[in-house]
Amino acid sequence: MLFPFLQSAAPEVTARMRARVRDKLTTTFASQYKARISLKDALTRDAVMTYNARRTGEKYLLVPNG
């Protein structure tokens, strides 16, 4: 539903929407992560055991090049 709307919306509307998201990236759209894990480390036994535990409120960010 979003993409058809964005294709038909006026440029001013999409600019306002983008500005709203940009302005709220650190508040409304912010995410908290327990840890950042590189792709290389994501396959270690300890890392798999940790993020596979699926504990409430614990999210892990996979960093492709970090």
Dihedral-angle region of residue 31 (phi above 0 means left; psi in -120 to 50 means alpha; beta otherwise): beta
Task: Tell me the one-letter amino acid at 8.
Answer: S
pLDDT of residue 16: 96
Q: With contact defined as beta carbons under 8 Å apart, do 1 and 15 qualify?
A: no
pTM: 0.51
Phi, psi of 49 (to 5 degrees): -60, -40
What ranges do the domains of the chain cover?
1-30, 32-66
For residue 31, is pLDDT > 90?
Answer: no
Tracing tokens 């950042």 back to the chain, one arrives at 36
pLDDT at position 28 over 90: no
First and final C-alpha spacing in the chain: 34
